[in-house]
A and B are shown apart, each in its own frame.
Chain A
Amino acid sequence: MNLKKPPARTLDLKRTEVKLTASVNSNDKVKTALFKFTCCAGCQFALLYFFHQLPETLELLDFVYFKMAMRKELEEPYELAFVEGGVSTPEHIEQLKAIRSQAKVLVAFGACAAHGGIPSIKNWQTERAVEENVYPDPLLVSSIKVSPIDEFVKVDYHLRGCPIDEVEFMELIRSVAADKSPYIRGHPVCVECKLRNNICILLMREGVQEGMCLGPVTRAGCRAVCTSNMRACFGCRGPMSNSNIPEMVRTFMGKGFSAKDIEMRFTEYAGLSAEFSEGARAYYGRKTPYYHRKAA
């Protein structure tokens, strides 16, 4: 892996002091490729920021393709594929299927790949409305809806979150290298929030937006970063394994949040998931998003 000498136009990684351990030869490493579709590339960027972990990451993974960090074009075969971003063009679908046929392990990398993420907010409006909103002359463009990658291919593991979490990422690559299934939390953010001895902002910050915490229905794994910093969870990791959406909606209603507030909270990151779209629909009058999810 050639992160040691970063090419001119990529990030300066010097301060991470990347040292490859001589004892590990690169044949033992997992050949890895990282692809990007529709997203802000923030998760790749975050990956570069996990600098305490970079030495170990590079001991375990041999990146054959990683646009943000390496100039190298994709040519070698790979076993582990990280796919960042949602699917929004027909070419994406083709590319994705090709990735699936090559990779032994395919990982949805970040909220956009896992649930559509921020770009998926537009799925809740007609394409026409989106185009008119964004472009001066809608005739110039033709946009399509965004969808999570597992709508088209089988995904082995999801690294959820906007952006992905460092600890979960390390757990995933260590597990892949050791050939065991990683521990991906199914329980809600509340668990990690409480384990960190936090007070509950949903209960303590009644009636203000900062207290509109989606923690009880959102999947943990982020170490409750937001609530630990006194900010409500806005559900960037999507639904937990057994979420109770009707109760979440009732709780928000009881605290005086409007239908619009509730819809916005549920659709911000994972509105395309069956669970969160149920929450968004609940009081918005609309039965389904305009783009209704269906299996590939």
Chain B
Amino acid sequence: MKSKSALRLENLDILIEAVLQKHLTYGPLAKDGEYAWQKIDPKSNPYMGCAVTMLPAKHILQPVWQDIYSFKFGNGFQIKEPELAEKIALFGISPCDVNSILALDRVFGGRLIDPYYWKRRENTLIVAANCTEVAGESFCTSWDTGPELYSNYDLLITELSDGYLLEVGSPKGEDVVAVLNLPKATQDHLNEKAVRLNAARAATKKKLPVAPDDLHRFLKERFNHPAWVPNSDACFSCGNCTIACPTCYCFDIRDEVMPSRSIGVRRSEWDSCQLLEFAEVGFHANFRRLRIDRFKHRTIHKLSWMKQQYGLTGCVGCGRCVRWCPSWPERRGRITSLADPVEIVTDLMEPSERYEGIERPGGVIA
């Protein structure tokens, strides 16, 4: 995007107000000592740092529960589609999450477009915020999905020592800030941005030990590596790592019906490949009955298969799975999050022999 203009912003409030004018605005707000994506109003204080929020902003574009349509039946049936016209803004979305939305765009796009996602997506204003500090769980630098966002935003905020740098990335963003008459940013401001983001990059210690381009081969070779066994034995199959993941998209479709009134809705709900029922077919046959198969499916889908399918990384290094996995086993002498892709890959780098003689503890496998 050539026509990027950079502006100076004294405080966020005026921008929030400008965005709120025309958009239903969401931002990462404090909740129970953490952050969660919630609706914001002029008084709220969205966090502009690296917020490893509970659910990612994905739930605004692809709601957890979504009515696909309602219907009425009797003699034949009539279908009524829901209306989705609201303009949405994601205020303070971090670079990794914007990258995750790009991946979701490809999932819900393609030959057969998911109209619900796309209607919301087209009506969405992305007000991104670069991360001048990277949370301990995150490893976005490994994928270059953060802490700096290079494109695909409408507005981009970078926190400076005094005030903010506001970059405009699209006509949509231009429309929002036009009324504010903000002063142009100087080269000094742009320099400060570069310094700050480079510092954030340098301070990110967590790193995937295998180069992204090499992961496909790496995981393929290690598909039967013994390290999968102790890893999956510690897994609850609770699905948190996928539900919290900004690039996970799987869902279930179910009908809810009120038989006496002959009406009902067809509804989708997020689902997770870590759950036993996910791949179950008739007569309770299941092609991923074993926990280890589901654990592998999730890990490899995120780290390699999604790239194969969509050409974009399926993990953006946001660190949510790391943060929200309830299982923290000891690995290599440290207590670590089981779902952590970096730890899993590190385990897989160990020579197979290291795992010889490790007995499989008696996990309950259905």
Residues of A within 8 A of B (CB): 21, 24, 28, 56, 59-60, 171, 174, 177-178, 183, 186-188, 190-191, 194-195, 197-200, 202-204, 213, 215-217, 230, 241-248, 250-251, 254, 275, 278
**A195-B243 in contact (CB<8A):** yes
Query: Which residues on the A side are within 8 Å of B363 (C-beta)?
Result: 244, 246-247
Collect the chain B residues with CB atoms within 8 Å of residue A24's CB. 260
Answer yes or no: B32 CB below 8 A from chain A CBs: yes
Chain B residues within 8 Å of A187, by CB: 237-239, 272, 275-277
Instruction: Tell me how far the C-beta of B273 lies from the nearest C-beta in chain A, rounded to whole angstroms.
Output: 12
CB distance from B264 to the nearest CB of A (A): 9
State whether B236 touches A197 (Cβ < 8 A): no
B173, CB-defined interface residue at 8 Å: no
**Known pairs A195-B65, A247-B234 / 15 extra A-B pairs, C-beta < 8 Å:** A187-B238, A187-B277, A188-B238, A191-B243, A194-B244, A194-B324, A195-B64, A197-B37, A199-B36, A241-B277, A242-B291, A243-B236, A244-B233, A247-B235, A247-B363
Docked complex Cα distance between A271 and B240 (Å): 25
Pick the contact of A60 from B31, B260, B328 — CB < 8 Å?
B260
What does DSSP make chain A's interface, helix, strand, loop or mixed? Answer: helix
Q: Contact: A194 with B243, CB < 8 Å? A: yes
Least CB distance from B49 to A in Å reads 17
Q: Do A188 and B256 have beta carbons less than 8 Å apart?
A: no
6 sample A-B contacts, Cβ–Cβ < 8 Å, listed by A number: A191-B240, A195-B64, A195-B269, A200-B240, A200-B324, A251-B326
Establish whether residues B237 and A60, one from each chain, have CB atoms under 8 Å apart when the complex forms. Answer: no
Contact at A194–B55, with CB atoms within 8 Å? yes
Provide the residues of chain A in CB contact with B236, threshold 8 Å. Answer: 188, 190, 216-217, 243-244, 247-248
Question: Which B residues lie within 8 Å of A60 (CB)?
Answer: 259-260
CB distance from A137 to the nearest CB of B (A): 43
Q: Which of B36, B327, B364 contacts A251 (CB 8 A)?
A: B327
B residues near A, CB below 8 A?
A: 31-34, 36-37, 54-55, 59, 64-65, 233-240, 243-244, 254, 256-261, 269-270, 272, 275-277, 291, 323-324, 326-329, 335, 361-366
In the complex formed, the residue of A with least CB distance to B243 is: A194
Known: A191-B272, A194-B54, A247-B234. A174 touches B257 (CB 8 A): yes
Whose C-beta in chain A lies nearest to the C-beta of B236?
A: A216
Contact residue among B65, B259, B277, B362 (Cβ-Cβ distance under 8 Å from A178): B259
Q: Are A56 and B260 in contact (CB under 8 A)?
A: yes
CB contacts (< 8 Å) of B55 on chain A: these are 194-195, 197
CB pair A191 B275 closer than 8 Å = yes
Asked if A190 meets B260 with Cβ closer than 8 Å, knowing A199-B31, A244-B363, the reply is: no
Residues in B neighbouring A243, C-beta threshold 8 A: 236, 364
Kindly list chain B residues whose C-beta atoms are within 8 Å of the C-beta of A174: 256-259
Chain B nearest CB from A249 CB (Å) reads 11
Are B361 and A178 in contact, with the CB atoms below 8 A? Answer: no
Contact in complex: A246, B361 (CB < 8 Å): yes
Q: Are B366 and A204 in contact (CB under 8 A)?
A: no
Min distance, Cβ A231 to any Cβ of chain B, angstroms: 12
Contacts of B54 in A (CB 8 A): 194, 197-199
Q: Bound state CA distance, A170 and B275, in angstroms?
A: 24
A194 pairs with B260, CB closer than 8 A: no
Question: Cβ of B323: which chain A residues have Cβ within 8 Å of it?
Answer: 203
